[in-house]
Amino acid sequence: MTHEEKRAWIMLVVSAVGYAVYAIVVLSRVDGGPLAATHYAGVLLWTIGGAIVASIVAEIAIGVVNPRASRVKDVRDREIGRLGDHVGQAFVIIGAVSALLMALAEWDWFWIGNVIYLCFVLSAVVGSLAKVIVYRRGVPQW
C-alpha cells in the first residue's frame, strides 16, 4: 500500500468518524425541542479540530511504524489524487450553492452551518473513497 493510499484511508475514516461523533452529540442535545435550537457551534468546532488532530496523529503513527516507506509520488499517485479531488470537489460546490440558497431564503443558521459541514465531510469521504477504489482497481482508461 502506498503512502498516498494510506493517507486516503486516514481521511476517509477520520472524516466519517468525526461527523458521526458530531451528529450523535448534537442529536443527544435536542431534548424534545426543535433541532435548530440546539447548541451546535462548539461541538462542530471541536469535532473539526479533533479530526484535524486525529489525521495528523495517524499520519505520524504511520511514519513511525514504517519509517523507511517511500513517500515519493509517482504519476499514478498524482492521477489518482487528482481524480479523487475532482470527485470530492463536487460536494463542496453543492454545499456552497445550498448554503447560499438557504441564506437567501433566510433559513436558520443551524441548517446553513450543518449543510456546509455535511458537504465538506461528503467531499472528504467520497473523494477518499474514490482514491481507495482506484488504488485497488486501477486508474480508469478513458
pLDDT averaged per 10 residues in sequence order, the chain, 142 residues: 89 97 94 89 96 95 82 84 91 95 96 96 96 86 69
The DSSP code sequence of 2-14 is -HHHHHHHHHHHH
pLDDT at 142: 66
Q: Where are the domains of the chain?
A: 44-73, 74-141
Give SS3 for 51. Answer: helix
3-state SS of the chain: helix, strand, coil percent to 5? 80, 0, 20
pLDDT at 70: 72
Calpha distance 31→71 (Å, rounded): 48
pLDDT at 74: 82
pLDDT at 72: 76
Kindly report the pTM of this predicted structure.
0.87
